[in-house]
């Protein structure tokens, strides 16, 4: 059965487009234009996930989030305006599962929505690192792009995790080699660079112009913090 999504968004045209887009992707979508209607629909109809706008005409999106959390653990994806760093922190503290700044990349909305649905079904303690449309699932030892699993060897996945856990820092080849010690001897028969280019070929949109794993000439590699 298709997952049922409730979108609480006061802009009717955006709500309709999200409806159409998610409908195409196979979801069943309900719409509410105010916080109060949304809360009532959530209670009456039972939904699998909520897409919640931060600014609503009758109440703050954070307030809606708090009230939903008070009685159910429905996954919540919040829509904010880019740069509301504080709203993000507060939203996540109040129990939102993820947040997405407007204007969002539609494919990213889909990926995140699938991610929060999957997480809710899996264990509550699953550890997932997320970078835009890319997910690094530490428990499943799997990397996913747009929700699709990427083909990586165990060793390459370990290298990706070593990079992703230190996103935003320049890591030299020596440091990466150290981090890979204790891994299969495979680590030593091929150079780090070869593994990196293999990982790139599966997680980058264009491996010739990498945006996720970037080479810093003479210094090493950086796993980008802000992707997509």
Partner 1 sequence: MPRLFLKIYLTILASLALLVVIVGVFWHFSSDDGMHHPAVGLVVQLAAAALPPAAAPVADQEQALEELSHHLRADLALYGSRNEFVAAAGHPLPAPPASSNSGDWIGDRHGPAFVFDLPDGRRLVARAPHNTHPPWSLFGFHLLVAAIAVGVAAFPVARGMTRRLEALQTAVETLGAGDLSARVSVSGKDEVASLASSFNRAAARIEELVAAHKTLLANTSHELRTPLARIRLGIELAKQTLDPKRKAELERDIAELDQMIDEILTASRLDTVKDLGPKEEIDLLALAAEEASRFDNCNVGGISAFVQGDPRLLRRMIRNLLENASRHGAPPIDIEIATNGGKVALSITDHGPGIPEAERERVFEPFYRVPGRSAAAGSGLGLSLVRQIARRHGGDAVVSSTADARAQIVVTLPSASGT
Contact call for residue 54 and partner 1 (CB under 8 A): yes
Please give the structure tokens belonging to residue 24.
């195409």
C-beta of 83 vs 185, nearer to partner 1: 83
The reply to whether 81 sits near partner 1 by the rule CB under 8 A is yes
Count of CB atoms situated within 10 Å of the CB of 208: 6
DSSP states along 94-128: TT-SEEEEESPPHHHHHHHHHHHHHHHHS-TT--E
Smallest CA-to-CA distance from 95 within 75, 113, 114 is with: 75
Is the Cβ–Cβ distance between 94 and 88 less than 8 Å?
no
> With CB under 8 A, what is the number of residues at the site for partner 1?
41
One of 28, 72, 90, 104 touching partner 1 (CB under 8 A): 104
- Do the Cβ atoms of 222 and 208 come closer than 8 Å? no
* Residue 65 burial (C-beta neighbours within 10 Å; 0-12, 13-18, 19+): buried
Among 70, 124, 182, 217, binds partner 1 (CB under 8 A): 217
- Tell me whether residue 100 or residue 187 sits nearer to partner 1 (CB atom): 100
Min. distance of Cβ 82 from partner 1 in angstroms? Answer: 6
Tell me if 7 contacts partner 1 by CB under 8 A.
no
Identified binder of partner 1 from the candidate list 58, 73, 93, 105, rule CB under 8 A: 105
DSSP 47: -
Residue 21 binds partner 1, judged by CB under 8 A: yes
**102 lies in the binding site for partner 1 (CB under 8 A):** yes
Instruction: Find the binder of partner 1 among 40, 122, 170, 177 (CB under 8 A).
Output: 170
Residue of 103, 121, 181, 189 that binds partner 1 (CB under 8 A): 103
Binding site for partner 1 (CB under 8 A): 11, 13-14, 17-18, 20-21, 24, 54-55, 79-86, 101-107, 168-170, 209-211, 214-219, 222, 224-226
């Amino acid at each position: 059965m298709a997952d049922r999504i409730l979108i609480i968004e006061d802009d009717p045209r955006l709500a309709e487009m999200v409806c159409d887009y998610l409908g195409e992707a196979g979801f069943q979508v309900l719409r509410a234009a105010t916080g109060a209607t949304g809360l009532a629909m959530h209670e009456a109809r039972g939904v699998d996930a909520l897409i919640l706008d931060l600014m609503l005409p009758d109440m703050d999106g954070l307030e809606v989030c708090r009230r939903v959390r008070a009685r159910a653990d429905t996954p919540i994806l919040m829509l904010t305006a880019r740069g509301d760093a504080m709203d993000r922190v507060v939203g996540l503290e109040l129990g939102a599962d993820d947040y997405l700044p407007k204007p969002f990349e539609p494919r990213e909305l889909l990926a995140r929505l699938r991610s929060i649905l999957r997480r809710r079904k899996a264990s509550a303690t699953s550890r997932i690192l997320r970078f835009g449309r890319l997910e690094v699932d530490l428990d499943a030892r799997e990397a996913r792009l747009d929700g699709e699993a990427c083909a990586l060897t165990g060793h390459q996945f370990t290298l990706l995790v070593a990079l992703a856990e230190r996103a935003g820092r320049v890591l030299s080849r020596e440091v990466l080699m150290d981090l890979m010690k204790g891994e299969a001897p495979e680590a030593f028969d091929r150079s780090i660079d070869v593994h990196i280019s293999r990982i790139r070929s599966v997680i980058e949109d264009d491996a010739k112009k990498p945006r996720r794993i970037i080479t810093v000439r003479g210094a090493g590699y950086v796993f980008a913090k802000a992707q997509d």
